[in-house]
Each structure stands twice: as structure tokens, then as C-alpha cells.
Amino acid sequence: MITTTPAAQREGRRTLICVHAHPDDEALLTAGVMAKAAAEGNRVVLIVATRGEVGEVADDFLSSGEDLGDRRWRELERSAAILGVERLEWLGYGDSGLTGKGRPGSRLVPFAHADPNEAADRLAAIIADEHADVVTIYDRHGGYHHPDHLQVHRIGHLAAHRAQPGAVLEATINRGLLKTGLELARSLGFEIPSAFSPETFDEWFLPEESLTHRVDVSSFVDTKRASMEAHASQSTSASGGTRTIAAFLSLPPEYFALAFGSEWFAQAGCPGGIRYDDVFDVLRPDATDTAEGAPA
């Protein structure tokens, strides 16, 4: 575990807490803002609900007796170090998997079935301990409806209501640009993972008009790529299909930078309209938006 005393407040630094469902989610959605915040001298905390033990992996990837959850935690520790994370925490729940049922025989409660109040209390305790300025969770779709991502959205808002951080931002993707990017990738001959080929994107992530933040992280795309590379298990497949991270890492540098040079957020409880270019901008004295309640 990466952990240090939360001294950000007395040192005049801001504290960013990013809450994710599984190891590797941070690499895909918030690695840029995490690296940027750390590079600017701020404190970065990463919390995962699960250790990702239900994830897919190639049959010959793990060592004899090695547990996937243990492997993915070590990969997460490497990613966290790359991104400048000062504290890394696991909420103690099991990976629900896409079915929401978790791993057969596991003693861990699948996060999707966790008691909301208990889970919110665990998360709120860390948020309060850190005196968090900004907390990132997921949008109401959980990005792409993974049950653990949907639970991060629900539990995140409950915890924030109790711990009262400076602001809550929903990490997401600009839906329109995602559709355009996938169409471009197909036209250029890149293989698109089946998980990113829904019949419609209408219930995936958020449209641009709902967003409040577009953060330019183009100076940190190499760090973001290294964060993805740290999750080596998630570039492998037991079925032979192309995994999402493997597909992204196969992009030439110029296309990777185009795809991952911006990160997108919607401030909870605020009307859409992109007006901020840093996650801490909402804390400025002249920032007038206030969150009056968590969205459903």
C-alpha cells in the first residue's frame, strides 16, 4: 500500500481523490489529471472498490498458484507510482464482474451488492480523513453500465454527501468524440474490441452538452500510456479477442495523443457547459457553480 500522512492542507496543496471500480480504470479515465495534479505539487489519492479478480486473463499469464486479484493489485501499485499517487486504498469488496455475481466461492461481498450505507461510510471516512478538495467518481451510466461502475456512482454520491468534499466530479468520456474516434479507428483498419461496439451509444458516458470540464492532459500522455502498460494482465485474453487496453496501446503515438489528450468531467449537481480546464477550477473564489444535490 502506498500511503503517507495527509499533510496537503497545512502545506497549502490541494487534494484530489479518484475513486474507481477496478485496477486499470484509473489508467483509462483519470490518469492524466492525476499525473497533472501530482506534477503541480498536489496530493493525489487513489481508491478502488475491488481488486479486479474476476477480470479476464490469458490462460498462461499467471504463475502457478498466483491469484489474479493479487496480480492486478501489484499492477495497480505500479500504475499509482507512475502517476504520483501518495495514498492507495482498497474498499475491501469483491469484483462483481459483468454479470454482477462476483467470483464463485469468494468470501468477499461483490461490490455491486454491497450495503450502500456501509460502503459509503468506508469511502466517506477516507474522504474526510484527507480533507479532500475534489473527488472524482463515475457518471450515472457507470460509463458503460458495468455493475461495479454504477455502484461507484451511487456510493460516491452518498459518501460525498456525508464527507462534504470541495467538489464532486463525474469522470466520463465525451460521447460524441468517442463515437467519432471509433469510426475513424475502424476506417483506418484498427480492430475494435467487442466491448466497445454497442448497437447504440445513447446510454454510454455523457454527451458534450452535459460536461463541465475538458482538461488538457496532452503533456501527460506518455505517463498515461505507462499507466496503461502497468496493467499488463489486462492486455491479455483467454478467448483470443483484442482487449481494450491492448487496442489502445497498439495506437501510434500521434493517434494515442489524439485519443487521450483530454479528460472529461461533469460537476455533480451543476448544469452542463464546458467552462473549466482543470479539476481544481471549481474551487476558485470566482467559480459560481455549486452542487445543490446529487443526481440520481
Q: What is the mean pLDDT of residues 90-102?
A: 95
Question: Is the pLDDT at 34 greater than 70, yes or no?
Answer: yes
Give the pLDDT band (50/70/90) at residue 12: confident
Is the pLDDT assigned to residue 4 strictly greater than 60? no
Per-residue pLDDT, 30 = 98
Write out pLDDT tens, residues 179-189. Answer: 888 777 778 78
Give the C-alpha separation, 223 to 30, whole Å.
11
pLDDT for 202: 81
Grid cell at residue 119: 460502503
| Beta pairing, strands 15-20 & 134-138 | parallel
pLDDT for 3 beyond 70: no
- The pLDDT of residue 142: 96
Average pLDDT of the residues in 7-28: 87
Split at pLDDT 50, 70, 90, the class of 6 is low
- The DSSP code for 104 is T
pTM across the whole model: 0.91
Predicted confidence at residue 279, as pLDDT, reads 98
Q: What is the pLDDT of residue 194?
A: 66
Percent of the chain topping pLDDT 70? 91
In the chain, what are the domains? Answer: 15-282 (3.40.50.10320)
- CA distances, 261 to each of 45, 232, 255 (Å): 22, 22, 10
**Buried/exposed code over 47-86 (b: 16+ C-beta within 10 A; e: otherwise):** bbbbbbbbbbbeeebeeeeeebbebbbebbbbbbebbbbb
For 131-168, the pLDDT digits (tens) are: 999 999 999 999 999 999 999 999 999 999 999 999 99
DSSP 209: G
Mean pLDDT of 118-137: 98
- Burial of 183-216, coded b for 16+ CB within 10 Å and e otherwise, reads eebeeeebeeeeeeeeeebeebbbeeebbbbbbe
- Whole-number pLDDT of residue 77: 98
Q: Residues 66-73: what's their mean pLDDT?
A: 97
**For residues 143 and 265, is the Cβ–Cβ distance under 8 A?**
no
Instruction: Summarize the confidence of residues 247-266 as an average pLDDT.
Output: 94
- Separation CA 296–CA 293 (nearest Å): 9
Q: What is residue 293's predicted lDDT score, i.e. its pLDDT?
A: 40
Q: Degrees (nearest 5) of the Cα angle 241, 242, 243?
A: 115
Exposed / middle / buried, residue 180 (Cβ in 10 Å: 0-12, 13-18, 19+): exposed
Sheet with 87-90: strands ordered across: 87-90, 43-48, 15-20, 134-138, 167-172, 262-267, 213-216
Strand positions, DSSP E, 98-255: 134-138, 167-172, 213-216
Quick: pLDDT tens for 205-251. 999 999 999 999 999 999 999 999 999 999 999 887 888 899 999 99
**206-210 contact pairs (CB < 8 A, 24+):** 206/139, 206/141, 206/170, 206/172, 206/173, 206/174, 206/175, 206/264, 206/266, 207/174, 207/175, 207/176, 208/174, 208/175, 208/176, 208/177, 208/274, 209/272, 209/273, 210/266, 210/272
- Residue at grid coordinates 474490441: 193
Q: Do the strands 87-90 and 15-20 form a parallel or antiparallel pair, or are they unpaired?
A: unpaired
Average confidence score pLDDT of the chain:
91
